[in-house]
Amino acid sequence: MRNKPTKPKLLASKFIKWYFNDRDEVISLGNSMRHLLETTGQCSLSMEELFDNCGYIPKYLCEIEPTKDMYNTDYNTNEVELINDFN
């Protein structure tokens, strides 16, 4: 029986810093949260939900051995294991 290949690991702290480095993403999230508060009176968002709804992860963010293509290659989020390092 073969072992499953391990997924590249991504620290949640690195993901959050990268994701919110884009001003437009911060504004979009703020507008979405405000809309939910105005219409339902509540909102919540977990790091996992944000990660799952992200379309791609740059390879260089992951905890991997450096490669030539790490700055021009992306992973789908289902190819990456998110590690909660906030604990």
If you search the block for the tokens 């997924």, which residue do you land on?
7
- Residue 33 has φ and ψ, to the nearest 5°, of -65, -40
Q: Would you state the structure tokens that stand for residue 11, as one six-digit string? A: 């620290």
**Which tens digits make up the pLDDT trace of 32-53?**
999 999 999 999 999 999 999 9
Range of the domain at 66: 9-83
If you search the block for the tokens 């996992």, which residue do you land on?
48
Asked if the structure places residue 4 within a domain, the reply is no
Asked if the structure places residue 55 within a domain, the reply is yes
Q: Show Cβ contacts of residue 40 under 8 Å, excluding neighbours closer than 6 positions.
A: none
Asked if the structure places residue 52 within a domain, the reply is yes
Asked if the structure places residue 68 within a domain, the reply is yes
Asked if the structure places residue 15 within a domain, the reply is yes
Asked if the structure places residue 31 within a domain, the reply is yes
Per-residue pLDDT of the chain (87 residues; tens, 9 = 90+): 667 778 999 999 999 999 999 899 899 999 999 999 999 999 999 999 999 999 899 999 999 888 899 899 999 999 999 999 987
